[in-house]
Amino acid sequence: MSCSQMSSLHYIRIGIFGKENVGKSSLFNEIIKQNIATASSIAEKKINILEKAIEINNMGPCLFFDTPSLNLINNLSRSDDRKKIRDLIKKIDIAIILINDFDFEYAADFITKLNDVPKIIAINKIDILEQDYLTKLKKKIFSEFDLEAIEISAKKNINLDALINNLIKIKPYQEKNIFGDLIQENDSVLVIIPKDTQEPQGRLILPHSQIISNLLDKEAIVTCATKKNFLSVLKNMNPEPKLIITGSQIFDFIIENNIPPTIKITSFSILLAQYNGDIQEFKKGADFIDKLKPDSKVLIVEACTHVPIEEDITRVQIPRLLKNYLGFNLKIKFLRGNDFPKDLTEYDLIIHCGACTFKKEFMLARINQAKKQKVNISNYGLAIAKLKNLLDKIYFQQKT
């Protein structure tokens, strides 16, 4: 998954769980209205997670996951399989748990792993269940989980509207706007898209489209420019923008152009870190750069997994800036995607990307882990600003 494709801020992630043959793949196919998952009565042996995005009215874009059976999930012997499931649980916003008989101890075991992820229990295959059996099953489920089960048939498409309506009712998540109180209706904002080697032709990468979309949700006046034309765009703006948002890697280039001090300047990754992370902790991490020594070890983590390109921020620009700023080489390790060591103590500093592909809780868990292990953590935006000696010239939320 790469930040040019997917958004944790905009997608509501819904996992479909249940034991073998309960109808997970059938429900997945029925909801997404495509035959992607293989629905069959033959038992699965491998950990295979399918995902598909679909827009649901009144809910927005959702990402559904068809998952391996709970019989498999609860008894995984390989540690990387267990990690896959742990990562999935961390990712999802809602779990649909399917049940169709009284043997649901596996579901109870799994529910304990879900912690506070909201869940919906559905009894599937009601087309072939006797009414009496169904009533008793519903009662038993209620007494076990304190949840009213929804009766559905994935195969016959019975009552799936009710299931979707229940999903809509849960929708407590991600309603917040990235800008909070920073931007009000009719505020003018200039968004400078670097259009450098990381930007694909013909479309915007995820953080850029997220930022623009959040500004439009605020009814702000949004003007877009590129690195090349931003100055003439800015000159023609009346009134001048309240805020300029740009890529951290061109902070210096923008600031060199004598931007009036009345205009705040910030970056995509700083705004995302403010929304998705802990900007104060990241500032502390950025300040810690001054204390790094030649034998210090830095971990640079990129959440998305695009193929590295020339002049890549992660692998080329940040290491080069560190060397220029400090005057010596450091030991640097790079990680990407879901890889994040349990033990961080061998590192002096972690520099993390904006994590636009992660759920907020996921990023906060990483920050808390670093804090607990007394390892400094910063993000791309603040670290780059620090390394370019621009921390005092850019805007980010200061401690209140």
In the list 47, 49, 52, 69, the residue contacting ligand GDP (rule: CB under 6 A) is: 69
Which CB, 65 or 230, lies closer to Mg ion? 65
Find the part of the chain contacting Mg ion (CB under 5 A) among 21-29, 123-131, 221-229, 367-375.
21-29
Question: How would you class 392 by CB atoms within 10 Å of its CB: exposed for 0-12, middle for 13-18, buried for 19 or more?
Answer: exposed
Does 125 bind ligand GDP (CB under 6 A)? Our answer is: yes
Does 381 bind ligand GDP (CB under 6 A)? Our answer is: no
168 touches, from Mg ion, ligand GDP, none (C-beta below 5 to 8 Å by class): none
Question: How would you write 185-212 as a 3-class SS string?
Answer: CCCEEEEEECCCCCCCCCCCCHHHHHHH
Q: Return phi, psi of residue 174, to 5°.
A: 45, 30
Quote the tokens at residue 370. 């670093």
Rounded Cα–Cα distance for residues 363 and 358 (Å): 7
Rounded Cα–Cα distance for residues 79 and 72 (Å): 13
Rounded Cα–Cα distance for residues 288 and 349 (Å): 8
In the list 4, 7, 8, 25, the residue contacting Mg ion (rule: CB under 5 A) is: 25
Q: Tokens 């793949």 sit at which residue?
A: 25
With a CB cutoff of 8 Å and minimum separation 6, the contacts of 300 are: 314, 315, 318, 319, 332, 333, 334, 335, 350, 351
Rounded to the nearest whole angstrom, what is the least distance from the CB of residue 20 to ligand GDP in the complex? 5
Rounded to the nearest whole angstrom, what is the least distance from the CB of residue 37 to Mg ion in the complex? 6
124 touches, from ligand GDP, Mg ion, none (C-beta below 5 to 8 Å by class): ligand GDP
Rounded Cα–Cα distance for residues 390 and 320 (Å): 16
Considering only residues 39 through 68, tell me which ones interact with ligand GDP, judged by CB under 6 A: 39-41
186 touches, from Mg ion, ligand GDP, none (C-beta below 5 to 8 Å by class): none
Which CB, 7 or 124, lies closer to ligand GDP? 124
Does 124 bind Mg ion (CB under 5 A)? Our answer is: no
Rounded to the nearest whole angstrom, what is the least distance from the CB of residue 52 to ligand GDP in the complex? 14
Rounded Cα–Cα distance for residues 85 and 79 (Å): 10
Find the part of the chain contacting Mg ion (CB under 5 A) among 19-27, 230-238, 243-251, 340-348.
19-27
162 touches, from Mg ion, ligand GDP, none (C-beta below 5 to 8 Å by class): none
Quote the tokens at residue 201. 């032709």
40 touches, from Mg ion, ligand GDP, none (C-beta below 5 to 8 Å by class): ligand GDP
Binding positions for ligand GDP, rule: CB under 6 A = 18, 20-26, 39-41, 69, 124-125, 127-128, 153-156
